[in-house]
Homo-oligomer: A and B are copies of this chain.
């Protein structure tokens, strides 16, 4: 048994997915819950003839996208990482891509060992309907005052109790988070994609030691209210202090949210 344990490999996956057609990352239990985790586990089962338990860095909600979700699993199989990557990408649907496969230390844990995570929330202020990208950004009809948003957002930096921005159905006892970075940018499109011409994307990038349920979407929803002039100066700091979900703005839709990086000590 000791030998068996020694022969087990601990494999880390880096995964990108378009969350539009999935009910989030985490398996709900039940064969057809159509989650990203379950879809990848099914592919692993085809390769290994048994289904390893895939441990993700954390859940993402239905419709949320990921550029670099991380996960690990244990397996006693000698397959080369590059071959496993190729096989998985061949087996997985077009909206899930395995970006990297690597052997890691036997004690690596994709969730417990997270140092920090980075999310980007995308907002598309539009004058009229677009036939494209509506499932990849929150399309709004109002212009946004970014300088106002930036000034208010600074109040969130540092170590705070973010209960005001935590999903109301989840009151985690420990709701203190160290927010390392908040960046709000307007990016005039310069891509070659014809359907993006002239679009003017607003992104909110957040890096923190960890995130509470719906935290980024609640912050994004509140910052859009700020950008529309619904709150007066200094209001966001007050909302944070209140530690009451009802004081903040509403939860922005999941389609605009991207998990872009999960950092580990290395």
| Interface of chain A: mostly helix, strand, loop or mixed | mixed
Q: Cβ of A192: which chain B residues have Cβ within 8 Å of it?
A: 122, 185-187, 189, 201-203
Does A137 contact B97, Cβ atoms closer than 8 Å? no
> Does A95 count as interface, using CB distance less than 8 angstroms?
yes
Q: Which of A17, A131, A191 has the most CB of B within 10 A?
A: A131
In the complex, per-residue mask of A50-65: 1 if CB is within 8 Å of any chain B CB, else 0: 0000000000000001
A residues sitting closer than 8 Å to B (CB atoms) are 16-18, 65, 67, 85, 89, 94-99, 120, 122, 128-137, 185-187, 189-197, 201-203, 258, 260
The answer to whether B131 and A18 touch across the interface, beta carbons within 8 angstroms, is yes
* Cβ–Cβ contact B195 & A136, under 8 A: yes
The reply to whether A187 and B195 form a contact with Cβ atoms under 8 Å apart is no
User: What CA separation (Å) do A207 and B178 show in the bound complex?
Assistant: 54
Nearest B residue to A85 via CB reads B128
A258 CB contact (under 8 Å) in B85, B189, B195 = B195
- Given A96-B131, A97-B128, does the pair A122, B16 have CB atoms closer than 8 Å? no
Beyond known contacts A97-B131, A99-B128, A137-B193: 12 more, CB 8 A cutoff: A18-B132, A65-B195, A67-B197, A89-B128, A97-B128, A122-B192, A133-B193, A189-B192, A190-B190, A191-B196, A192-B201, A192-B203
Query: How many copies of this chain does the complex contain?
Result: 2
Closest Cβ–Cβ distance, residue A88 to chain B (whole Å): 9
Measured CA separation A185–B191 after assembly (Å): 11
CB pair A134 B195 closer than 8 Å = no
B131 touches A95 (CB 8 A): yes
Contact: A194 with B120, CB < 8 Å? Answer: yes
In the complex, what residues of B have CB within 8 A of residue A189's CB? 190-192
Contact B129 A97 (CB under 8 A): yes
List 8 contacting pairs A-B, 8 Å CB cutoff, sorted by A.
A16-B195, A18-B131, A65-B194, A67-B197, A94-B131, A189-B190, A192-B203, A194-B203
